[in-house]
Amino acid sequence: MSLLQLQALAGLPLLCLLAWACGGCRPGVRARVVLAGLGGQLLVAALLLYVPPLRAGFALVGDAVNALATATRAGTSLVFGYLGGGPLPFAEAVPGASFILFFQALPLVLLVGALSAVLYHWRVMPLVVAVLARGLRWLFGLSGACNLSVAANVFVGMVEAPLLIRPWLAGLTRAELFIAMVAGLATISGNMLVVYATMIAPVVPDAAGQLLTASLVSAPGAILAALLMLPEREVPVGTEAEAVAAPRIYDSTMDALVRGTADGLQLLFGIMAALIVFVALVALLNGMLEPLTGLTCSRWRAGSSGRWPSPWGCPRRNARRWRRASA
């Protein structure tokens, strides 16, 4: 076992202690929660990374993402022309200069949003989510509605997942409601997973499979972190049947297609606005720091990661290279 693997293994109990301390060191944490959370993460990671049939499934996930990206580019090329990935009417002076994030990568959110809505209406997604929910119920012993919300967050966003348990939201305990919120922040929605995988696929092998593994591993981790910060002290209400009885949201396939596209469009504009604002805020901070210190945010980060490479997950032998790349 390498030093980085030992560091990651030691990080599991340390992160548990950190979560418990952030929650105020509350009493009442059950041993079953800790063992199920840690064991669930290790089990899911081992199955997805080291079982050959499941590992081979990563390639299928990557092919599906590539197919979605190709189909989306056909639509953006029709609407936006060369801005959306169509043939250029001029010679490209700098390789990659014709790539425009908003017109070529982000519209993938629209297609994934529409397909997710259709798969939900056809009861495909609720079936998959129900299987994950039963597994979480067996591990942690929580109510079906809470497990359904956590499992749904693996595939949909933290806004859509609570809609699946709307009829049972009022019956959730305080700890279960906190679990649903933490799971939404810990996992990757299907829309963004496809976008991220498309962007990093040239440099990360099996990008879609790696991101899906991270999202699946984060599900039991989110429950563990939430229950360490806010232990369950009430009796969960609900039955396992709730995990299957996902409410119908759409009237027809066409209704699901239209409303899913509209939801994706709202998310698309939200992503665009957030990118503009956050990049502008970093530029503004750099404009204030550089005259005073001679450093920018990226240079400070490169210097700090060079001085402390191991806690950041960077091997010490690569620290200098990392500092040059981040400068």
* Domain coordinates in residue numbering, the chain: 30-84+98-276, 280-326
The more confidently predicted of residues 163 and 141 is 141
Give the per-residue pLDDT at 235. 66
Choice among 58-67, 86-95, 143-152, 154-163 with the minimum mean pLDDT: 154-163
At residue 51, does pLDDT exceed 90? no
Q: How far is Cα 221 from Cα 58, in angstroms, rounded to an integer?
A: 22
The pair of structure tokens assigned to 73 is 């580019």
Task: State how far the alpha carbon of 193 is from the alpha carbons of 122, 148, 190, 200, 315, in Å.
Answer: 22, 20, 5, 11, 27
What's the Rg (C-alpha) of the chain? 22
Distance of CA 50 to the CA centre of its chain: 22
Backbone angles phi, psi at 155, to 5 degrees: -115, -30
pLDDT range class, residue 310, cuts 50, 70, 90? very low
* CB contact at 8 A, 192 and 108: no
User: Taking CA 255 as the corner, what is the angle to CA 254 and CA 258, rounded to the nearest 5 degrees?
Assistant: 85
pLDDT range class, residue 98, cuts 50, 70, 90? confident
Residue 181: CB partners within 8 Å, gap ≥ 6? 158, 226
At residue 123, does pLDDT exceed 70? yes
Q: Cβ-count burial of 17 within 10 angstroms (0-12 exposed, 13-18 middle, 19+ buried)?
A: exposed
* CB contact at 8 A, 232 and 173: yes
Give the per-residue pLDDT at 163. 63
At residue 319, does pLDDT exceed 50? yes
What single-letter amino acid sits at 220? Answer: P
Task: State how far the alpha carbon of 260 is from the alpha carbons of 3, 156, 253, 265, 315, in Å.
Answer: 46, 12, 10, 9, 44
Mean pLDDT confidence for 109-136: 82
At residue 1, does pLDDT exceed 70? no
pLDDT range class, residue 327, cuts 50, 70, 90? low
Half-sphere exposure of 51 (CA within 13 A, CB side): 10
Each residue's pLDDT tens digit, 168-207: 777 788 888 899 889 988 888 776 787 788 788 888 877 8
* CB contact at 8 A, 155 and 128: yes
Distance of CA 70 to the CA centre of its chain: 22
Give the per-residue pLDDT at 239. 46
Q: How far is Cα 33 from Cα 141, in angstroms, rounded to an integer?
A: 9
At residue 20, does pLDDT exceed 80? yes
pLDDT range class, residue 241, cuts 50, 70, 90? very low
At residue 226, does pLDDT exceed 90? yes
Q: How far is Cα 48 from Cα 41, in angstroms, rounded to an integer?
A: 11
At residue 77, does pLDDT exceed 90? yes
The more confidently predicted of residues 113 and 227 is 227
Residue 19: CB partners within 8 Å, gap ≥ 6? 224, 225, 228, 229
Give the per-residue pLDDT at 299. 61
